[in-house]
Structure 1
């Protein structure tokens, strides 16, 4: 594996992120809204994938994790989660929350645990992902970072 870089995407620069999320059938309606930070994992061959963090304060939403099809099954998803968690910790985040309809086991293997949606903090409940973009059948998972 060649050396990788994990870098923030400039706000509104979603020309590669949006089609990648659409191809993976992940929500894109709120990408340009404030309070969202997206990151790209890349190497000398180009983009590998993307992940986002949403919100402010101690509880934030991990969202929009996608690995480009040609780069799957190489450990990049786990690497992106680790980078996103480290970035969140550096920003004072204590817990990451997420919703998924397809890869709950992937996140459970990385320390995320099932949680009751009714107990989610207001900062998470107020996101479009939580309130309208992800179906109520999505698995809600949480990980303590502290």
Structure 2
């Protein structure tokens, strides 16, 4: 099902082997990074570090300037990639109103953010 503002991508090698998936939901200049998933055999090999900037660049090209994400267990990965933890109350209303923030992620999930630059 396609919803406005949502974009999801499959990332593959040139030979077609699936490396992972990633997506985002755009809300004007803000974007909620969603579902960065690396195939089991590609974990700890830099695939996630390669997918993330591709997602951020696509979001930037669509007008996003601030990235947000919620995670229960991958905060360390995102912090190594420029994201900073922030209190949920400091996030824009549009991000807090997403299904991800309002219902899917537990209150214990960390909220992280970073500026997106070309």
| Fold similarity call, TM over 0.5 | yes
What's the TM-score, normalizing by structure 2? 0.92
Task: List alignment gaps of at least 5 residues for structure 2.
Answer: none
Which residue does the alignment assign to 1:59? 30
Cα distance in structure 1, aligned partners of 2:39 and 2:3: 23
Greater Cα offset, 69-78 or 128-137: 69-78
Counterpart secondary structure, 1:55: strand
CA contact (8 A) 1:55 1:123 kept: no
1:19-34 alignment runs, 5 A limit: 32-34=2-4
Which residue does the alignment assign to 2:70? 99
Cα distance in structure 2, aligned partners of 1:134 and 1:67: 19
Which residue does the alignment assign to 1:24? none
Structure with the higher strand share, 1 or 2: 2
Post-superposition offset of 1:34? 3.9
Counterpart secondary structure, 1:131: helix
Cα distance in structure 2, aligned partners of 1:81 and 1:53: 11
Counterpart secondary structure, 1:74: coil
1:1-146 alignment runs, 5 A limit: 12=1, 32-43=2-13, 44-146=15-117
How many corresponding residue pairs?
A: 116
